[in-house]
Structure 1
Amino acid sequence: MRIHHLNCGSLRTIPPLGGPSVPDAAHRELAVVCHCLLIETDTDGPVLVDTGLGTADLREPDRALGADWVAHAQPALDPAQSALRQVVRLGYAPQDVRHIVLTHLHRDHTGGLADFPHARVHVHPEEYRAVTDPAAAHHRHSLDGFMPAHRAHGPLLTPASADRRETWFGFPGVARPQGLSFELLLVPLPGHSAGHAGVAVRDDDGRWLLHAGDAYMYHGELENTPPLDHPVLDPVQRGAQTDASARTATRDRLRDLVRDHGDEVTVFSAHDPWEYARLAAVNGRR
């Protein structure tokens, strides 16, 4: 198995506030990323984790993403960054991607779904319920976040199978996507969306990667004491969250995870460009 770190959408450029030692990147402005994974497996083909911005988003951003969001996020609109183009560059046909796993259903994570219309799209059952059950809590907020342009093709949205007794490093409510034969888990990280979850995958060396989605947006939230918010990203996070106290509790649990199990788990978020630069550089040296 090989895990590729992909940036599937550069957004507005922001300054650093300190952070990890990243060659040529730690002390300069970088564009916010849409950090996705492509997992090459022997049994299930290439599996995408999140999809960033899709090709239709880049052709007609105001229509697909919303003019207000585009004005604020300032996406680069570079087709080469789409998951579709990057999958092809790695030697696969689009139809080879049979499984996509999403942290949640907001627009900067679902844009590429229409580029892989045949793929099964796995989400945590709470996120699935939020967009399919009219009576679900936070239903309207969650459905509004799942853009009509990203669901017009009828994505094969599938709830993962949850076992409330199963935990991952003490995190409860873990769910397993159906039909995947390698070790991948959806780990509830509540607060950002109704069913927001991290995606945990174990590599061939036995070490875990946790794609924490939008549970936090800046490495200073986990690495600094007290937590250091980014002045550009923090208002975005607060505006999108469904439960402020749950989000703060999730952040604190992730801080504990990094402190207590940093030798077993690498945690990263969906949008921090300094985390992405560090992990992409490691990926490039393999």
Structure 2
Amino acid sequence: MRPAGGFTIVCHCLLLETPRGLCLVDTGFGIGEAAFGALPGYYRPLIRPALLDSEAAYNQVIGLGHDPRDVRDIVVTHLDADHAGGLRDFPWARVHLHAAEHAAATRPATSADKGRYRSRQWAHGADWMTYDDRGGETLFGLSAIRPLCDLPDLALVPLAGHSRGHSGVAVDTGTGWLLHAGDAYWYHGEVAPSPHCPRALALTQRLVATDHRQRLANLARLRELPAEVRVFSAHDPHELDLAVA
């Protein structure tokens, strides 16, 4: 995505091997997104996404030598179009997410939520697996929902603010923890010891947040994570480059 201001924004997804099969964390845009017609009217001129089928998760799974049918589970940080567009490409997969996000998207109570979520992206009949905050688990000092059904090495970390049920996804790799922080922040400088963010990105995050103060409070908690937790966001190309290197 190439919004105004000369920035490049990515959709940072993970592909995990689990005992059940493959698992995606977020999907990015789906195949045929340009023609599918599920994006909000403002989205394409404002965000300017490339919408290349070659970048869709389905085709990238094939490119890595896997069968897309082996993607049995998808864990989404939230249901914005650039995180859940690919759900329809894996209609057989279970979709794990926070119950508050599921409710906001499938039973929108406000005009903002009605404009934000695009039900066409899950009109195929997604197999939802929802989780709430009950249980009192913690993970590196943050509230956590774990284990996810049949996914013992994954946890949802509630980080509401960008959206009502926005969550990070923590992954125990066996040698350390990854935390996909979704849209809790967009720029790596926001979790730096001396936090900073380009003005245009900071303003955009404020405008699209459901609760800006809550987002900032959760961002402050991310800055306090121990060094052994590798945290990254959904949209920062610098962090994606580090992951691929």
Give TM-score, length-normalised by structure 1.
0.79
Aligned to 2:170: 200
In structure 1, how many angstroms separate the alpha carbons of the residues matched to 2:190 and 2:33?
A: 30
Aligned length: 245
1:256 paired residue among 224, 228, 236: 224
Q: Is it true that 1:32 corresponds to 2:1 in the alignment?
A: no
1:224-254 residue CA offsets vs partner (Å, 9 max, x unmatched): 42x2122232222112111111111011001
In structure 1, how many angstroms separate the alpha carbons of the residues matched to 2:31 and 2:164?
A: 27
In structure 2, how many angstroms separate the alpha carbons of the residues matched to 1:241 and 1:161?
A: 21
Q: 1:253 to 1:89 in 2, by over 3 A?
A: same
Shift of 1:279: 1.0
Q: Is it true that 1:236 corresponds to 2:204 in the alignment?
A: yes
Aligned to 1:4: none
Question: Greater shift after overlay, 49-58 or 141-150?
Answer: 141-150
2:106–2:119 CA contact under 8 A, matched in 1: no
Aligned to 1:147: 118
Shift of 1:14: 7.8
1:271 paired residue among 235, 239, 242: 235
Tell me how large the CA RMSD over aligned residues is. 2.0
2:160–2:166 CA contact under 8 A, matched in 1: yes
In structure 2, how many angstroms separate the alpha carbons of the residues matched to 1:146 and 1:66?
A: 8
Q: Is it true that 1:156 corresponds to 2:130 in the alignment?
A: no
3-state DSSP of counterpart to 2:77:
coil
Q: 1:239 to 1:188 in 2, by over 3 A?
A: same
In structure 1, how many angstroms separate the alpha carbons of the residues matched to 2:32 and 2:110?
A: 26
- Map 1:69-148 → 2, pairs under 5 A: 69-133=43-107, 140-148=111-119
In structure 1, how many angstroms separate the alpha carbons of the residues matched to 2:112 and 2:124?
A: 21
The letter for the 1-side match of 2:160 is P
The letter for the 1-side match of 2:200 is V
- Map 1:3-14 → 2, pairs under 5 A: 11-12=1-2
2:25–2:76 CA contact under 8 A, matched in 1: yes
Shift of 1:214: 0.3
In structure 1, how many angstroms separate the alpha carbons of the residues matched to 2:20 and 2:114?
A: 30
1:53–1:110 CA contact under 8 A, matched in 2: yes
1:38-70 residue CA offsets vs partner (Å, 9 max, x unmatched): 0022x1111000000101314x16x22133201
3-state DSSP of counterpart to 2:61:
helix
Shift of 1:162: 4.3
Gaps in structure 2 of 5+ consecutive residues: none
1:142–1:194 CA contact under 8 A, matched in 2: no
Q: 1:12 to 1:217 in 2, by over 3 A?
A: same
Aligned to 2:150: 179
Shift of 1:103: 0.3
In structure 1, how many angstroms separate the alpha carbons of the residues matched to 2:105 and 2:49?
A: 26
Shift of 1:94: 2.1
Question: Greater shift after overlay, 77-86 or 234-243?
Answer: 234-243
In structure 1, how many angstroms separate the alpha carbons of the residues matched to 2:104 and 2:189?
A: 30
1:50 paired residue among 3, 16, 26: 26
Give TM-score, length-normalised by structure 2.
0.92
In structure 1, how many angstroms separate the alpha carbons of the residues matched to 2:80 and 2:224?
A: 27
1:98–1:119 CA contact under 8 A, matched in 2: yes
3-state DSSP of counterpart to 2:82:
helix
In structure 1, how many angstroms separate the alpha carbons of the residues matched to 2:42 and 2:105?
A: 22
The letter for the 2-side match of 1:253 is R
Shift of 1:173: 4.7
Q: 1:143 to 1:103 in 2, by over 3 A?
A: farther
Q: Is it true that 1:211 corresponds to 2:180 in the alignment?
A: yes
